[in-house]
Structure 1
Amino acid sequence: MGIHPRREGSVEGASRGLAGLSRCAQVLVLALTLLPAAVAAREKSIKLVGIVTLIEPTRIMVAGAKEGEITLVPKEDLTSKVAIGAKVTIWYTPKDGVNYLDWMTYPLEEYFVPANQIRSGIKKVIILPTYGVADSQGIVDEIQRYLERKMGWWFAPPALAEEIRSRVKVSSSTLGDIDPATGEFNMGRYIQEQQRLVGTVLSEARVDAVLEINVERVQAHFIGSMAEWDGAGQVISTKLVRALSVLARMPDEGDVPAATVDMKLYGPPSKLLWANRRGFAVLVTQTNVGASFRDRPLSEAYRDEASVRNWLDMALGNLVPPQSPEPAPSRGTGSESANR
């Protein structure tokens, strides 16, 4: 069993910059079995588009417009990924009176409490980072500066979170949660360890919230010169390569490494408040027609400051309080205007 982020078909409202797809069109596809089996199962499953009305570790309820409310049994705990009220597309298989969930698409950004509750209840925050890509501390620092400026949050020193993590003996790597007997990832154990760590950090750091940021190395699928993954889209080739591809009529297709930022905001007692996942940057550049690539470190992506700012707005902008319009300047009285 595994979780495979994957672009589902054509995503509505795609844009072609680093920030990528429109917020309202972002989806993350959760494969609840290994990918080949999941694809085969989906072809035989029943499809339903609806709203999540209940989410528990072993039970999900989804209400469809025509189908009404149905109860499903998931193969994994989805409580940290999907919120009540989320619009989802599911594929499920009925068997012996039970509806088994095979596949689900759901929004990349989820609120588990109202946004206003987050804005009013949080002042002090600590970041719990995992740097899964070289030079990824740069984007974590950018996220902190953005939230300091836009939300007015105060951030505790990041070294404090690392000290607590080392003392609690919870690794920033997921390798320790792989069952040696089966080779499968133990999601339940991983979630329990993370909740224990978050609770300890909240208590000892004396903050209102923990912002967990995982910068992950993933695979992005590209067709031609455009790669799309985790709500982002980015051109991967130089102008010369794109021109040569058109002349040669050889549209390339494949997968390239990319960086994705996965964020979760927790309040006491280890309660998930908000989550978002968004692709940040591809990690290679195509230098010739065909499989010719060079590494593109994140330090290179940071140089495009406009794209980084745009990414921050797309990834975090919904958290920011809406700005009140500035009051119109007073016109004053006729005599006052005449004296100006």
Structure 2
Amino acid sequence: MLIMIFNMNFSFAANLLAIIVLFRGNCGLSKCITRYLLGMAVADLMVLTIGVILYQIIDVYLPHSFFNQTPVCRVILTMMFISIDCSVWLTVAFTFDRFVAICHQMLRVKYCTERNVAVAIAVVFCASIVGNIPYYLIYEPRVVVNGVKWSCYVKSSFYTLPIWAAFLWLETILTPFAPYVLILLLNSLTIRHIILANRVRSGLRANNSTAKHTDPEMENRRKSIVLLLAISGSFIILWMVNLICFICVQFTDRQFLEASFNDPFTIAELSGYMLKFLSSCTNTFIYAVSQRKFRDELKNVIKYPLALVAKVIDLKK
């Protein structure tokens, strides 16, 4: 839990700073990219606020608070799944946008527009809300004290009724199996396109005896490859434990959210949740910090309050 709190503080600060910097619009990114990154950062901030603060931390340190009553707990859990889906599928949407922008120059003019970005973000948010509403119905009180229902526990019927089994399989296919496949496929095609373009460009430059200097275009493409590999790798690694736990529940007698925190499966499950939350908070940071102008603007944002404090101290003197 202490590790989760540390990761939450770091990720919360990173995403909050990313939102401020991107909102200022001075980091040299196109408006389409900026909108996607802003949407991803807001979704990631929702994951941290709802999934980590309102659910994980309060459940452990304030077990008898208002937020831990069953009706409120149900809403928090449902909103947590909504925010995770938003974060994951906005990453997919942005990956597809970059695939079109790099690999299909003709389609880029029609698809990569501010209007289409706004529509894509709205569709992702609305679909995430509609698709996760059933989660509100799968929980029951863990205990009832003096007529007050506390905490949330997955109903036993969730594991036996065919309709819930179908819902769980559908949700797992949509998040994260489908994003796994789409991100890997799109990034692989994008990297392949970049490599082929680099070979052609290298061949042309080899025929030009005067071209001895470093090619900025090829350097930018190499950076794009590293960036895409970082996004794909972080998503796959950080979701792996959660996927393994899902498979165990489907093919063994294990259940989610078991009461014993000394059980190895429960420890693995909670670790998977922590890594999943971390995954929802890294992509915006990776995309943004890789941009030099973003780093410069980030320094300006950090220096600004320090400069104000220095001015106030000078005035008091």
Q: Fold conserved (TM > 0.5)?
A: no
Structure with more helix by fraction: 2
Q: TM-score, length-normalised on structure 2? A: 0.24
Structure with more strand by fraction: 1
Q: TM-score, length-normalised on structure 1? A: 0.23
Of the two structures, which has the highest relative contact order with CA contacts closer than 8 Å and spacing of 6 or more? Answer: 2
